[in-house]
Amino acid sequence: MTEETLKTTPLTDLHIELGARMVPFAGYSMPVQFPLGVKQEHQHTRSQAGLFDVSHMGQLLLKGKAAAEALEALVPVDIIDLPVGKQRYALFTNEQGGIIDDLMVANHGEGVLYLVVNAARKECDLSHLAAHLPDTVKIETLDDRALIALQGPKAVEVLARLQPEVSSMVFMDNRAMNIAGAECFVSRSGYTGEDGFEISVPSAEAAGLVKALLAEPEVESIGLGARDSLRLEAGLCLYGHDIDTTTTPLEASLIWAISKSRRADGARPGGFLGDSVILDQIAKKGWSRKRVGLKGEGRAPVREGARLFSETGEHIGTVTSGTYGPSVGAPVAMGYVKTPFSVLDTVVYAEVRGKKLPMTVSRMPFMEPGYYRG
């Protein structure tokens, strides 16, 4: 897309004012870094509080008494029993068991579900929902809201100065509340592996809220560059890279995202697109490839697309995300390998500029998460 056709967020002008370097991302003009620099932004988020603009993500409401039951037919997740005020990670699957998108679903009560979907998949997801939801469930897109994320060990301390109620929230809580005069949806969650919050705020109040947060001494603006290295250290998938329509949840090491109630021996087994493929993989404990974490030696990062080989020279897989992990102090990556090579501590070799660099299959996340569970 040309610069003229890129979409903007309600915070674009503020990013430019703050000296951000803007790049195209998922059809939007987004800040990749601020004057602090990617590495320092990463480290600041791990030690203090980083503020991210994620307004490019899709926000929508499903409304209707049958909303939870209808959405359950599209995800291998327990939505019917999702408590009011809680949110859950979910996957849209296709008839082949592949992943159409990953998303967050929150129960706002009274037949209202709040969904946050990936920016690049918004239109696809809306079409998917429109094609499969009954007429009794209404889809409302929240195009008039921004979405920001305050992440890091100091996030709760900072946000509590503006709204003390957030201190009582735990990981995956989702509540409506007023912050600095704005009516917000607030979840205690994020995409960095740290404690923190994602805040949906009306577009008209977004810049004011961001300025109020940036006025706090612990907070710095953070761009997409550090967001990527933070989520990779946390072992979190990026749609279109680590998961896609050809990847099943089992291949993606996301079996934990398939609720027990939706498995073959659960209270409501199957009933979602691709259930026969996915439940068969669980039953047989068999799939030909698996997403794994990889830790390298030295400082040279191993990037997406690097081919992976066994000690005997067999081509066994491909890296899907990779960078140097500032908090880990080593190159970190994730990728898919043939299942026999997915055992922890297996040594594989990544091809980088003609050289074979050793990497070790490692547990993810690569660093201890800081989620607050109470």
CA distance 344 to 4: 47
Residue 76 has pLDDT above 70, yes or no: yes
Residue 36 has pLDDT above 90, yes or no: yes
Structure tokens belonging to residue 304 = 């997406």
Per-residue pLDDT band at 3 (split at 50, 70, 90): low
Residue 285 has pLDDT above 90, yes or no: no
Per-residue pLDDT band at 58 (split at 50, 70, 90): very high
What 3-state class would DSSP assign to 162? Answer: helix
Contact 257, 77 (CB under 8 A): yes
Q: Of 163, 149, 151, 143, give the one whose Cα is nearest residue 203.
A: 143
Average pLDDT value for residue range 323-330: 97
Give, in degrees to the nearest 5, the angle at Cα 16 between 160 and 51.
20
Residue 118 has pLDDT above 80, yes or no: yes
Residue 143 CB neighbour total at 10 angstroms: 9
Share of the chain above pLDDT 70, in %: 99
pLDDT digits (tens, 9 = 90+) for 334-343: 999 999 999 9
CATH superfamily of 288-374: Aminomethyltransferase beta-barrel domains (2.40.30.110)
Give the strand order in the sheet containing 99-109: 87-93, 99-109, 112-117, 58-63, 138-141
Average pLDDT value for residue range 315-327: 98
| Residue ranges covered by each domain of the chain | 12-58+144-233, 288-374
Q: pLDDT at position 218, please?
A: 98
Residue 312 CB neighbour total at 10 angstroms: 6
Structure tokens belonging to residue 321 = 């995300």
At residue 40, φ and ψ (nearest 5 deg) are -70, -35
Q: pLDDT at position 2, please?
A: 58
Rounded to two decimals, what is the model's pTM? 0.97
Share of the chain above pLDDT 90, in %: 98
Average pLDDT value for residue range 98-107: 98
Residue 288 CB neighbour total at 10 angstroms: 9
Residue 131 has pLDDT above 70, yes or no: yes
CA distance 325 to 179: 34
Bridge partners (DSSP) listed for residue 68: none
Average pLDDT value for residue range 214-231: 98
pLDDT digits (tens, 9 = 90+) for 146-197: 999 999 999 999 999 999 999 999 999 999 999 999 999 999 999 999 999 9
**Domain 12-58+144-233: which topology?**
Gyrase A; domain 2 (3.30.1360)
Q: What is the mean pLDDT of the chain?
A: 97
What 3-state class would DSSP assign to 148? Answer: strand
Residue 1 has pLDDT above 60, yes or no: no
CA distance 66 to 80: 9
